[in-house]
């Protein structure tokens, strides 16, 4: 079953009875990333009345949820924001709804709708992408093999995280989990079994 995550950060704004609700949404693969994003929004708009947040880290049965009303009446802000976020089917996502009070009290029902609608609005414009499981592998090779191996890796979705040049070259690469077996087979054949491949 495919799991979906946000393609990138996005924001939108709605107005309810002169109050401004500015919603920022971003990918977050762990709670630390979510908290850092929430803190960054607080820093960007320190004069706002409330920074209500919700996050869903993971997918399905293995999710970590978080929310805060941030000073709004209990249950009127974080809970509806989280309910909409959970209903979207997205995982690894954090949302912060920043409110600038417009002088008109919305009441508990009005707040529940405003925060829920704010998250719905940002989700409508959020691009989704499939979450792809990735893993690190460490490749140890000779200098003679280095260029050829890099050319082979270029055929796959990969990212070189680290390279160290000693007696041999050691390269740490992040690749799709689904590609590990193929890459291992191709590189082993290409180097006549001379390469050392260690799952990180």
Which sequence spans correspond to the domains of the chain?
4-130, 134-199
Give me the CATH code for the 4-130 domain, please.
3.30.230.30
Residues 6+ apart with CB under 8 A from 127: 6, 7, 8, 10
What tokens appear for 87 in the block? 């209903």
Angle, helix 180-190 to helix 143-153, in steps of 10 degrees? 140
Q: Could you tell me which of 54, 55, 45 has the C-alpha nearest to residue 22?
A: 45
Q: Tell me, what's the pLDDT at 66?
A: 97
What are the residues facing 74 on neighbouring strands? none
Cβ atoms within 10 Å, residue 96 = 30
pLDDT for position 1 = 67
**95 bridge partner residues:** 25, 54
Question: For the domain bounded by 134-199, which CATH number is listed?
Answer: 3.30.70.240
pLDDT for position 26:
97
Q: Is 121 helix (H, G, I), strand (E, B) or coil?
A: helix
pLDDT in tens, the chain (200 residues): 678 999 999 999 999 999 999 999 999 989 999 999 999 999 999 999 999 999 999 987 789 999 999 999 999 999 999 999 999 999 999 999 999 999 999 999 999 999 999 999 999 999 998 888 889 999 999 999 999 999 999 999 999 999 999 999 999 999 998 899 999 999 999 999 999 999 87
């Amino acid at each position: 079953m495919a799991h979906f995550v946000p393609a990138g950060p996005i924001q939108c704004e709605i107005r309810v009875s002169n109050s401004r609700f500015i919603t920022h949404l971003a990918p977050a693969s762990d709670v630390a990333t979510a908290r850092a994003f929430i803190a960054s929004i607080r820093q960007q708009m320190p004069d706002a009345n409330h920074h209500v947040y919700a996050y869903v880290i993971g997918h399905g049965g293995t999710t970590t949820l978080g929310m805060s009303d941030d000073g709004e009446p209990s249950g009127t802000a974080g809970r509806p924001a989280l309910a909409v976020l959970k209903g979207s089917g997205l995982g690894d996502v954090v949302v912060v709804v920043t409110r600038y009070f417009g002088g008109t009290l919305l009441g508990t029902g009005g707040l529940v709708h405003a925060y829920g609608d704010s998250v719905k609005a940002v989700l409508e414009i959020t691009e989704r992408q499939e979450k792809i499981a990735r893993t690190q592998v460490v490749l140890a090779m000779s200098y003679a093999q280095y260029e050829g191996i890099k050319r082979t890796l270029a055929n796959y979705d990969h990212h070189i995280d680290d390279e160290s040049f000693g007696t041999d070259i050691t390269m740490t690469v992040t690749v799709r989990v689904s590609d590990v077996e193929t890459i291992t087979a191709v590189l082993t054949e290409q180097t006549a079994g001379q390469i050392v491949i260690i799952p990180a």
